[in-house]
Amino acid sequence: MQGTSIELTELSYWYEDVEQPALRGVSLTIPAGQFTAVIGPGGSGKSTLCQLLSGYLPRSGGGRREGKVRLDALDPAEAPIAEIAKVAGIVFQDPDAQLVRGVVEDEAAFGPENLRVPPPEIESRVAEALAAVRLTARRRSPVRELSGGQRQRTAIAAVLSLAPRMIVFDDASASLDPAAQAQFVQLCRRLHAHGRTVVTVSGRFDDAARAAERVIVLDGGAVLLDGAPQELLRTSRDRLAQLGVLPPWEGAAEAGGLVTAPAQRAPGGDIPGGDPASGPLLEVRSLSYTYPGGQEALRDVSFAMHPGAWGMLTGENGSGKTTLTRLLMGLLPVPSHSVYWKGRDVSGMSVHQLARDIGYVFQQPEHQFVEHTVWDELVYGLRVRGGWRRRQADLTPEQTEAAEAWLAAAGLSGRRQDSPYLLSKGEKKLLSVIGQLIQPKALYILDEPTSGIDYRAARRLLKLCRGAAAAGAALLMITHDPRLVEEDASFVLRLDQGIVEDYRQLSRNQEKISVRS
């Protein structure tokens, strides 16, 4: 198959009501059939570039574009959608923003159906695409029953079935477990070997970047580095480390300079969580859960958490991690006599009751945002506390001062009046975390908080979490980044197909955690 060439000439782009350009004067050429990785820290313009290549910007998303974008001879801002679909397919960061049908095989068939591909060929394309992402066994599953990583693979299959000559993966492997990430790299290699143009986009110098023929590094909306991956690692390692695209154990330099997180105190000055000797905050007793369609998600899971414990929840995509945490939060119907919060059966408690003591950070921060500015999003919980809405002027001086400190700790002081939806992925995750931490609680549950963000943002986020743990809060963190978290964690609990496969106590705060499996 002949790939698609990309030509960008003096490309700049401004979002609506934002003075600074997200991209500025980018000129580069990607020849047809090349495997290229675009990497850079949060806010460097990577996702903006992807949306310009797809034609979403400025056609649907608004804003102002200057310069030239050509996919072969097509301008994606003006060409018919059906023509763009033949030359370029884009897999975005959030799979839920691309999935429209509700069943896995229907998602994969949706694009070819709309292009009027003959039915026999549609069936062949769907089967091939699902096999490529290892979802053949789940082809008739409802999307709502899939894990985040499985939904991402479904979105990839939906683009593969269109058979475009170029595929752009915008952080499409961020929510995948390590095995699935390795499979993703192999998929990119196969697509490249078949002649397609492949562009992977990430906040990290990940395995896909190392496998690529060429790596383009963006920073501040401009091209900073451009070359073969091994050459960049040899000549520019310090610079890459300073940008935060190399992991701490590879970089020769640290970002440094992070602002200390505000001290966390509950109203009245008490540290949340209580006395560890009084019993566990959270106890799970032989918890099993099956979705209404018959898919078993958890079987006989047991563990307990005390104040100050930091749990690391790991496992492959579909192992039951997100199901477990949603049960703990009451977001799914909890079987009776299986989950206890401070000694009380959770099955008899409402989500609202649990939310008083438990903060939950979703894998996709956008799913939690409700306000129009970063500041309003941060203080939203303070305004609605007690069930009634206050105006901004009603925030106490102490609350306002604390909110300013949280913004500074997250590195968002300069973004307070921006839309949360215009933040980089790392900034969105930091905002969602401080939006929970600003109200001290006994337990925080975080679903993949470091996935898809650069290491500089990840270090900042983990520093915020350390402050919460030091104040006595317990943390339960789903993660595919165990090396980033293990030095802070009290224990690691690994699930495999809904069963506790492994439990290991780690060195930190072991006296505060007990687990039964």
Confidence (pTM): 0.90
In the chain, the amino acid numbered 224 is L
Q: Which CA distances in Å does 25 have to 357, 359, 467?
A: 49, 42, 40
Look at residue 169 in the predicted model and tell me its pLDDT: 97
Q: How many residues does the chain have?
A: 517
Instruction: Name the residue among 28, 43, 76 with its Cα closest to residue 454.
Output: 43
148-207 pLDDT, tens digit per residue, is 899 999 999 999 999 999 999 999 998 899 999 999 999 999 999 999 999 999 999 999
Look at residue 383 in the predicted model and tell me its pLDDT: 84
Look at residue 223 in the predicted model and tell me its pLDDT: 98
Burial of 400 (0-12, 13-18, 19+ CB in 10 A): middle
Look at residue 251 in the predicted model and tell me its pLDDT: 66
Instruction: Name the residue among 477, 387, 370 with its Cα closest to residue 432.
Output: 370
Phi, psi (rounded to 5 degrees) for 315: 145, 160
Instruction: Name the residue among 52, 63, 55, 39 with its Cα closest to residue 9.
Output: 52
Q: Quick check: 4 and 165 in contact, CB under 8 A?
A: yes
Q: What is the 3-state secondary structure (H, E, C) of 431-470?
A: HHHHHHHCCCCCEEEEECCCCCCCHHHHHHHHHHHHHHHH
86-117 pLDDT, tens digit per residue, is 999 999 988 988 999 999 999 999 999 999 99
Look at residue 504 in the predicted model and tell me its pLDDT: 82
56-90 pLDDT, tens digit per residue, is 999 999 999 999 999 999 999 999 999 999 999 99
DSSP-assigned letters across all residues of 264-312: ---GGGPPTT--GGG--SEEEEEEEEE-TTS-EEEEEEEEEE-TT-EEE
Task: List, in sequence order, every residue forming a beta bridge with 495; answer none if it has no partner.
Answer: 315, 500
Task: List, in sequence order, every residue forming a beta bridge with 218; answer none if it has no partner.
Answer: 223
Which ranges of the chain have pLDDT less than 50?
Answer: 253-259, 265-271, 273-274, 386, 388, 390-392, 509-517
Look at residue 385 in the predicted model and tell me its pLDDT: 61
Look at residue 393 in the predicted model and tell me its pLDDT: 52
Beta-carbon contacts of 151 under 8 Å, excluding residues fewer than 6 positions away, are 95, 96, 99, 143, 175
Q: Which residue has the tokens 């991402």?
A: 152
Look at residue 503 in the predicted model and tell me its pLDDT: 82
CA–CA distance, 251 with 242 (Å, rounded to integer): 8
CA–CA distance, 419 with 273 (Å, rounded to integer): 34
Instruction: Name the residue among 319, 277, 279, 264 with its Cα closest to residue 297.
Output: 319
